[in-house]
Chains A and B, each alone.
Chain A
Amino acid sequence: MLRGSCLCGGVRYEITGPLRGALNCHCSMCRKAHGAAFRSRAGVKAEDFRWLQGEDLVTWYETSTGTHRGFCRVCGAKLLSRFDFDATWYGLPLGALDDDPRVKPKRHVFVAYKAPWYEITDDLPQHPELPQ
């Protein structure tokens, strides 16, 4: 069981299954959405994810066709991405987790679009785009 919540505490969720494919995404949309050097996210099966409270506080913004990013409308915390083309899984930003997910990002993707002010200094594989 993993729990997560937004900054103001209005939105809470729990995850009952494993997180998969954790990675750091350096695309310009992730950088803008999070206002951070990169987004660290993992995949979670939709059936393993449950809002505990505050689902009505989540504002969804469609950032590219069929991809919706959710954030708390009170505090702005970035919470979840859902996809029209595949409703069976979600993209989970690791930053809102309250528990240690016991997984770590294993690669960097969209490095071709990386912020000029951030240098990658770890040994993880780097992909210029998203490998298939």
Chain B
Amino acid sequence: MIRGSCLCGDVRFEISGKLSEASHCHCSMCRKAHGAAFGTYAAAKAAEFRFESGEDRITRYRSSAEVVRAFCARCGSTLPWPRETEPDVVDVVLGVLDDDPGVRPSHHIFVASKAPWYEITDTLPQYATRP
């Protein structure tokens, strides 16, 4: 079981299965939404993901044709969102996990849009957009 929660604790969720496909995303939308150098996400099966509390506290924002992002209305923590193009997948933001996700990011995506103030110094594969 992998648990996660927002900063204020209003929103709590749990994942009963394993996460996969972890990566760092350097797209400008992730950078803005997170206010950080990059966002880090892994995939959960929708059937294994559930909100324990606070789902009604989530604000959703469509940032592109394929992505509707989620965050806590009270504290602003970025939260997992269902993948629109694959309804059986939830994209889980690793930063709000309380437990070790059990996976490690395996690559960087949208590196062409990377922040000028951040250097990638690891040896993970880098993709200009998606693999």
With contacts A100-B117, A117-B103, A121-B122 known, is A75 near B33, CB below 8 A? yes
- Residues of B in contact, count (CB < 8 Å): 47
* Given known contacts A39-B36, A59-B73, A94-B37, A117 and B119 CB-to-CB distance under 8 angstroms: no
Interface size on A, residues (CB 8 A): 46
Write out the residue numbers on chain A whose beta carbons fall within 8 Å of the beta carbon of B128. none
Contact of A118 with B76 in the complex, beta carbons under 8 Å: no
Given contacts A105-B117, A117-B40, A121-B122, contact A78 B35 (CB under 8 A): yes
Residues 7-19 of B, flagged 1 when their CB comes within 8 A of A and 0 if not, give 1100000000000
B5 / chain A contacts, CB cutoff of 8 Å? 32
Q: Which of B13-72 contact A (CB under 8 A)?
A: 22, 24, 29, 31-40, 59, 61, 63, 69-71
In the complex, which residues of chain A have a beta carbon less than 8 angstroms from the beta carbon of B119? 104, 122
- Is the CB of A90 closer than 8 A to any CB of chain B? no
Q: What A residues does B63 contact at CB under 8 A?
A: 7-8, 75
State the A residues within 8 Å of B (CB).
5-8, 22, 24, 29, 31-40, 59, 61, 63, 69, 71, 73-79, 93-96, 100-101, 103-105, 115-119, 121-123
Ordered by A's residue number, 7 sampled pairs between the chains whose C-beta atoms are within 8 Å are A32-B5, A33-B77, A77-B35, A94-B35, A95-B34, A96-B32, A104-B118
- Interface on B for A, CB 8 Å cutoff? 5-8, 22, 24, 29, 31-40, 59, 61, 63, 69-71, 73-79, 93-96, 100-101, 103-105, 115-119, 121-123
